[in-house]
Amino acid sequence: MSDQAWYRDLARPIDHAARAAADARNQRLTKPAGSLGRLESIAVDFAGWQGSEEPAVPRAIIRIFAGDHGVCRRGVSAYPQEVTAQMVANFLAGGAAISVLAEQVGADLGVVNMGTVPPESGEPVYAPLIPEPDTGGPSFVDVQLMPGTDDFSTGPAMPPAVCEAAMAVGRDQVAMAAGEPALFVGGEMGIGNTASASALCSLLLDLPPSDTVGPGTGVTGEALQAKRRVVEQALDLHRDECTDAVDGLARLGGLEIAGLVGAYIACAQQGVPVLVDGFISSAAAVAAATINPGVVPWLCFSHRSAEPAHVTVLRHLNAEPLVDFGMRLGEGSGAALVVPLVQSAVALHSGMATFDEAGVSDSEK
């Protein structure tokens, strides 16, 4: 893997002058200082991201990356592997949680098949639902880089070239956000991907599987212990051979996780803020930030997942999520739920009058 690869290019710098101007404006708005709490800091963040004292309300760009995992054959999930492709069909049909939330917030929703296991019957269950271009509904991109990853407990999850290709797919999904005030939300779907995210976090953060492996889709008891043993086996196999974070992503990651990593890096390079979802999306954020540290200032963390290791990951990233509703669905659902809150923060900051504009007496200085 070349050191000159696109994902190592510098991120766009934050506009600190715009942040300072927005902070000063915030102090002049017709409200007691600090009375809007974290809404105020969100608005200042957007000023720095957009380079404007009065940032525009961003439109959400939601992309769900789907991929299967070879490690599923080790029993790491409570659901069968065919659910991945079935949920892709559900996304396209508008029946999933993220489908409902994306419509509610007026988001640009797209689904990307990174690589799912072909059904025995031949044609994927989602094939009849693929929309024609410009017919409304979610967009669909079918790249199928490989039919799911290989079992990372016995070898690398994917070849290095496939990992780089998956990152490039994520990068390309960000390009359509250029030129408009946007907020990127990355979702994921892949039965078995909490095992992959846990292994990746253990590798990159030097943590034991007991700290990173959780129930995911609902495994408990001996099944959870077995899941931890599978991740430990994978770490024993790959840890000493891993050369860098991109290599670690190829060895232990998923196609959909690599897509998220590429998207997050591209967002930072193109000046598009990211609203990060739960544990798996945050594991992708750890990988992205390890590969390209300039990503970190462009990340906003939407919610604290009920997946136990998410707290550890957030602590590593020095991130304080906006809400905690005990969610652990994935799909980008927690982030989509927070989109209106973020949009309200920007609208309040840019739309409220200052004391001078409203002719309202300010507090005594």
| DSSP-assigned letters across all residues of 74-133 | G---SS-TTHHHHHHHHHHHT-SHHHHHHHHTT-EEEEEEEE-PPPTTSS-TTGGGPPPT
Q: Is 361 contained in some domain? A: no
249: nearest Cα among 219, 296, 284: 284
What pLDDT is recorded for position 364?
Answer: 62
DSSP lists the bridge partners of residue 184 as 61, 274
Contact 270, 12 (CB under 8 A): yes
Domain-embedded: residue 9:
no
In the block, residue with structure tokens 């954020």: 285
12 located within any domain = no
Q: Is position 365 within any domain?
A: no
Q: Are residues 191 and 249 in the same domain?
A: yes
| pLDDT tens sequence for the chain (365 residues) | 444 799 999 999 999 999 999 999 999 999 999 999 999 999 999 999 999 999 999 999 999 999 999 999 999 999 999 999 999 999 999 999 999 999 999 999 999 999 999 887 778 899 889 888 777 789 999 999 999 999 999 999 999 999 999 999 999 999 877 778 999 999 999 999 999 999 999 999 999 999 999 999 999 999 999 999 999 999 999 999 999 999 999 999 999 999 999 999 999 999 999 999 999 999 999 999 999 999 999 999 999 999 999 999 999 999 999 999 999 999 999 999 999 999 999 999 999 999 999 999 987 65
Question: Mind giving me the DSSP string for 27-79?
Answer: HHBSS-TTTTTHHHHHHHHHHHHHT-SSPPPPEEEEEEEEE--GGGGG---SS
> In whole angstroms, how far apart are CA 71 and each of 51, 149, 153, 231, 255?
44, 8, 7, 9, 13
- Does 256 map to a domain? yes
Within a domain: 254: yes
- Residue 6 to residue 48: CA distance in whole angstroms: 24
Q: Where are the beta strands (DSSP E) in the chain?
A: 59-67, 108-115, 139-142, 182-189, 274-276, 299-301
Distance CA(336)–CA(104), nearest Å, equals: 9
Does one domain contain both 105 and 194? yes
* Token couple for 311: 């707290």
Shared domain for 135 and 50, answered yes or no, is no
Same domain, 42 and 101: no
List, in order, residues 6 or more apart from 220 with CB less than 8 Å away: none
The first and second tokens of residue 211, run together, are: 């700290």
pLDDT score of 134: 72
23 and 128 together in one domain: no
- Whether 252 is in a domain gets the answer yes
The Cα–Cα gap between 81 and 350 comes to 47
Question: Does one domain contain both 286 and 341?
Answer: yes
Does one domain contain both 71 and 112? yes
Annotation says 331 is catalytic: yes
Do 340 and 296 belong together in one domain?
yes
Tally of domains in the chain: 2
CATH (domain of 192): 3.40.50.10210
- 298, 268 Cβ separation under 8 angstroms: yes
For the chain, report the end-to-end CA distance as a whole number of angstroms: 58
Q: Domain of residue 333: give its range.
A: 58-352
Instruction: Tell me, yes or no, whether 236 and 249 share the same domain.
Output: yes
Co-location of 85 and 22 in the same domain:
no
> Which residues is 139 bridged to in the sheet?
110
Q: What is the pLDDT of residue 2?
A: 47
Closest CA to 196 of 95, 268, 115: 115
Q: Are both 249 and 289 inside the same structural domain? A: yes
Whole-angstrom Cα distance, residue 323 to residue 197?
A: 22
Shared-domain flag, residues 22 and 100: no
Supply the pLDDT for residue 363. 77
> Residues 164, 320, 331, 364: which is the catalytic one?
331
With beta carbons less than 8 A apart as the criterion, state whether 289 and 349 touch: no
Q: What is the pLDDT of residue 180?
A: 84
Tokens coding 173: 């999904």
169: Cβ contacts below 8 Å, ≥ 6 apart: 65, 112, 114, 141, 143, 145, 259, 262
pTM above 0.75, yes or no: yes
Is residue 6 in some structural domain?
A: no
